[in-house]
Chain A
Amino acid sequence: MTDSVPAGGGQPAAPRRTPLTAIHEELGASLTDFAGWLMPLRYGSETAEHNAVRTAAGLFDLSHMGEFSVTGPGAAAALDFAVTGEPSALTPGRARYTMICAEDGGIIDDLIVYRLAGTEFLVVANAANTASVGAALTQRAAGYDAAVTDRTAGYALIAVQGPRSAAILGPLTSIDLAGVKYYASYPAEVADCSVLLARTGYTGEDGFEIFAAPPDAGHLWAELSRAGAADGLVPAGLAARDTLRLEAGMPLYGNELSADLTPFDAGLGRVVKLDKPGGFVGRDALARRAQEPAARQLIGLTVQSRRVPRHGYGVLWDGQPAGVVTSGAPSPTLGVPIAMAYVRPDVAASASDPARAGTADLAVDVRGRAEPATLVELPFYRRRS
Chain B
Amino acid sequence: MTVPSELYYTPEHEWVAISGDTASVGITDHAQRALGDVVFVSIPVAGTRVTAGEPCGEVESTKSVSDLYSPVDGEVSQVNPEIDDDPGLVNSDPYGSGWLFKVRLDETDGELPPGLLTATEYTALTREDE
Enumerate chain A interface residues (CB-CB to B < 8 A). Answer: 1-5, 7, 30, 41-42, 45-47, 239, 242-243, 306-308, 310, 329-330, 367
A242 CA to B36 CA, complexed, in Å = 14
- Does the CB pair A1–B65 fall under 8 Å? no
> Can you list 11 residue pairs at the A/B interface with Cβ under 8 Å?
A1-B14, A1-B68, A5-B66, A46-B37, A46-B63, A47-B37, A239-B62, A306-B39, A307-B40, A307-B60, A308-B39
A310 CA to B66 CA, complexed, in Å = 12
Q: Indicate whether A46 sits within 8 Å of B36 (C-beta atoms), given known contacts A307-B42, A307-B58.
A: yes
- Does the CB pair B36–A239 fall under 8 Å? yes
Q: Indicate whether A239 sits within 8 Å of B63 (C-beta atoms), given known contacts A30-B33, A42-B36, A46-B36.
A: yes
Residues in chain B near residue A243, CB distance under 8 A: 62
Classify the secondary structure of A's interface with B.
Answer: mixed
| Contact residue among A2, A42, A329, A330 (Cβ-Cβ distance under 8 Å from B69) | A2
A230 CA to B98 CA, complexed, in Å = 32
A1 CA to B71 CA, complexed, in Å = 10
A145 to chain B, nearest CB (A): 46
| Contact residue among A46, A310, A329, A330 (Cβ-Cβ distance under 8 Å from B40) | A330
A30 CA to B33 CA, complexed, in Å = 8
A140 CA to B114 CA, complexed, in Å = 64
Q: Number of contacting residues on B, CB 8 A?
A: 25
- Does the CB pair B60–A308 fall under 8 Å? yes
Residues in chain B near residue A47, CB distance under 8 A: 37, 62
Minimal Cβ-Cβ distance residue in A for B42 = A307
Q: Indicate whether A1 sits within 8 Å of B37 (C-beta atoms), given known contacts A239-B63, A307-B42, A308-B65.
A: no
Beyond A1-B10, A2-B12, A2-B69, 15 additional pairs, beta carbon < 8 A: A1-B69, A2-B13, A5-B66, A30-B33, A41-B63, A42-B36, A45-B36, A47-B37, A239-B63, A307-B60, A307-B65, A308-B39, A308-B65, A329-B63, A330-B39
- Does the CB pair B66–A3 fall under 8 Å? yes
Contact digits for B21-60, partner A, Cβ 8 Å, 1 yes 0 no: 0000001000101101101101000000000000000111
A47 CA to B91 CA, complexed, in Å = 12
A358 CA to B32 CA, complexed, in Å = 36
Residues in chain A near residue B126, CB distance under 8 A: none
A30 CA to B34 CA, complexed, in Å = 8
Residues in chain B near residue A1, CB distance under 8 A: 10, 12-14, 27, 31, 59, 66-69
